[in-house]
Amino acid sequence: MTKLQGVAGIGLRVLTSVYQLKNQTCNMYRINTFQELMKGLPRGVFDQLVKKHQADKYSKHFGHWDQLVVMTYAQLSGTTGLRPLEASFNSHVAHHYHLGTGRIKRSTLADANSRRGDTVFADAVTWLMQKVARPLRQQSKELLYLLDSTSITLKGREFDRWTLSNKTRNTQGVKLHILYAEQAQIPIWQSISAANVNDVEKTKELPLQQEVIYVFDKGYCDYNWWHRIDMAGAQFVTRFKRNAGLRIEEERSIPAEATDIVLQDQIVRFKNRHPGGKRINQYEKPLRCITVARADKPTPLVLAT
């Protein structure tokens, strides 16, 4: 159940944010709360996603909606096994009609979890993220989005079949890429890849928004992607690599109250139009290079924005 639980977990957090239930304990034995929570994803919207991918073409009695309801129930209730999940979910048979589902068999659920892909559920998560992002845009003129990735270790007899071939020196499993809205403290975009996929490769899928500040680490160092952010009417804050070829155009003065933290403030440009061999560097505009002291480390941060 791990792969689907991962997608469900992201969607569940967004779904909970839609209903402002962050400070309320989601007790799955309070089935009415569960019914209200599921209203955050309209059945009609989900059915359109299923139809788009023809996902239920060969499913007679246990479709993707049934699977979503059951797996969300499992996530919220903390159920870890199919047998207790079957018993617990089926004990609420009087509420199944209102949830648009029915009794489950653990063998049917196990088969669905092992055979079905996560495309429909991933699209549902994207829809939920967009639903949260719209009111967030209205609340704040300046949006701060944080981009990062984390590895999820998946080892063992069942996992090795599809994770061993893509393992890296540090991990075996998958990599989760997240774009996180700092103000709302929720993810607004996510993607799962093999563990050996370079972080910067996933930026090709990232939808850029105007007037957003994107913050990311050196793993996303691609000058042409920085150019795309600029062309989209957005801004970014990241770090220069040590070997970045820069030409200093201006030394900026540092306010007296900031001299303990800000060591240097410069306007720079890239020296080389071909920093990676044959590929042309499209970023020709000036950049601001700020060197910042760190209290916990002797080496400073060299920020690019």
Segment 136-163 shows an average pLDDT of 82
What is residue 79's three-state secondary structure? Answer: coil
For residues 138-166, average pLDDT = 84
Residue with tokens 């209200």: 36
pLDDT at 3: 44
* Contact residues for 159 (Cβ-Cβ < 8 A; gap 6+): 172, 173
Instruction: Give the H/E segment covering residue 291.
Output: strand 287-292
Cα–Cα–Cα angle for 136, 139, 145, nearest 5°?
45
pLDDT (tens digit per residue) in 75-124:
888 888 899 999 999 999 989 998 999 999 999 999 999 999 888 998 89
Q: Looking at residue 25, what is its pLDDT?
A: 38
pLDDT in tens, 229-275: 999 999 999 999 988 999 999 999 999 999 999 999 999 999 877 76
Per-residue confidence (pLDDT) for residue 237, from 0 to 100: 97
Q: Which neighbouring-strand residues pair with 173?
A: 153
The answer to whether the predicted template modeling score (pTM) of the entire model surpasses 0.75 is: no
Q: What is the pLDDT of residue 21?
A: 34
Mean pLDDT of all residues in 61-65:
94
Please give the pLDDT value at position 31: 67
Arithmetic mean of pLDDT over the chain: 85
pLDDT at 126 over 90: no
Task: Break the chain into its structural domains and give their ranges.
Answer: 2-122, 140-235, 240-305
pLDDT at site 221: 92
Residue 95 DSSP class: G
pLDDT at 141: 58
pLDDT value at 137 more than 70: no
Tell me how far apart the alpha carbons of residues 113 and 117 are, in angstroms, rounded to a whole number.
8
Is the pLDDT at 27 greater than 80? The verdict is no
Sequence-separated (6 or more) residues with CB below 8 Å from residue 117? none
Query: For residue 11, what pLDDT is reported?
Result: 53
